Amino acid sequence: MLRLGRRQLHTIFSREIIKPSSPTPSHLKTYNLSQLDQFVPHVYTPLILFYPNNKTCTLTADDKARELKKSLSQSLTRYYPFAGRLHTPTATYVDCNDEGVVFVEAKNDTHLSKFQRMINEQDDDTFHQLFADAMVWQNTPHATSLVGVQLTHFACGGLAVAVSMAHKIGDACNVSSYVSHWASVARYGSTDHKHVLPLNPRFIQSPDSSNFSPPLEMFSRVNQTCDNHVTRTFVFPNSKLNDLKNKVLAEAGSAAFINKPTRVEVLISLMYKTLVATTTKNSGLVTTMDARNSFVPKVPQTTVGNFVLLMMVVTSDPSLSSVVSEIKKKKMERNNVRSFEQVLQNNELSMLGNEELEPVADKPFYCSSVCSFPYNKVDFGWGKPAGASISLRSSTLTGFVLMDTPNGDGIEAHVTLEKQDMEMFQKYKEMLSFCQN
């Protein structure tokens, strides 16, 4: 039981282990992690989905919890490694032993809307309580588990569904695919229903390797706590992002690589310019790119594993157009990488460009965009969420994560910085001029 402040009461009242509804076949008992999977630390990506009380839904709170557990069990049969275990945090394979996923239920005496405001204003304790066993970036006493779920019931009847997924087994695309499949099973009651999303996961059989690839130095300390960090959310409507695109184009003139900048590219450039102007660090920006479409042939979006290319953006000119130009150049360099199987067989991670990050491993800002992933459409049977969140909160990384707004009319930037830097960042006039009023 946690008592936060003078009024908020948060109580955990149930804890279960949910196992797959059907046993994993013997020939699938070992799932080898790829070299790319080994390249990331064993930490947990935290996704929260907030659901207001849907007055038209006839399901009780107990009904909703029961349906979540049943459908979770059914969906784990298809995503069988998620119910397995790592023997150690540095293991190179998953033992697909069907030990299951922890499912925690909690009650919170706050209204959901108030709680959502609180997690953008208060410390990490308010955020942590939403996740099973505090599986938020850092390792936990249950560090060999791969997935954890917590359902929190709020006083108003609203709910929060929090999913923690080990980054070693998958990236944000996998989190999205799995949760979307799980929700569709819950909504229709069966994995065989004709309307269940056909998100058949693809598991690549990586070569058996006993050689552990240590995580990139930049990320190896991501599981250490940092009390000096704060997280804030800034919202940028599409209308303002269109204005920002026009500003970038006007600034660039006839410069190369600026044709048709995306809203994500221009927002990254604005955020980076703000960081350079308001913080004491200026060593570059590490940004990510989903590599599934870069390989030849393309890797299906439902492929499980880490398919994230890391790109280091460093420019002596932090102007909007210069940063956008640099991002586009890096993307072009990462396109048309040869087949994923060849990269794995030849241990050619250098082909992906990740080696360039090592010289500045502990210095740059980090940014990731999960825009276009349908987190805001995840419907377990009682409607779409009123909000979703993935952030760098509780990691030692500083930077930002970009997500679509719930209504699709803009982008949310979840920014994590040291406290003194955030004081200056959130006052930067150019950045605020493109924010929602």
Active-site residue identified among 10, 153, 167, 414: 167
Question: Residue 9 pairs with which residues in a beta bridge?
Answer: 3
- For 55, residues 6+ apart whose C-beta sits below 8 A from its C-beta are none
Q: How many residues does the chain have?
A: 437
* CA geometry: angle 5, 391, 125, nearest 5 deg: 20
CA atoms lying within 13 Å on the CB side of residue 436 = 12
**E-assigned strand segments in 352-409:** 365-369, 387-389, 399-404
Output the pLDDT for position 351.
Answer: 45
* pLDDT tens digits, 332-374: 877 766 666 666 655 545 444 444 544 444 568 999 999 999 9
For residues 25 and 293, the model is more confident at: 25
pLDDT of 142 strictly over 60: no
Instruction: State yes or no: is 109 an active-site residue.
Output: no
Among candidate residues 95, 98, 123, 379, the one labeled active-site is 379
Give the three-class secondary structure for 84: coil
Q: What is the pLDDT of residues 12-52, one digit of tens each?
A: 999 999 999 999 999 999 999 987 888 788 889 999 999 99
Reply yes or no on whether 167 is catalytic: yes
pLDDT given for residue 5 in this prediction: 44
Residue type, 21: S
Q: State residue 339 phi and psi, 5-degree precision.
A: -55, 145
% of the chain at pLDDT higher than 70: 81
Q: What is the pTM of this model?
A: 0.89
The strand ranges marked E within 253-364 are 285-290, 295-296, 303-304, 308-313, 337-338
Q: What are phi and psi of 143, to 5 degrees?
A: -65, -15
Domains of the chain by range and CATH? 2-203 (3.30.559.10), 217-432 (3.30.559.10)
Vertex 281: Cα angle to 244 and 216 (nearest 5):
100
Burial of residue 250 (number of CB atoms within 10 Å: 0-12, 13-18, 19+): exposed
d(CA 284, CA 407): 32
Q: Is the pLDDT of residue 273 over 90?
A: yes
Q: How far is CA 287 from the centre of its chain?
A: 13
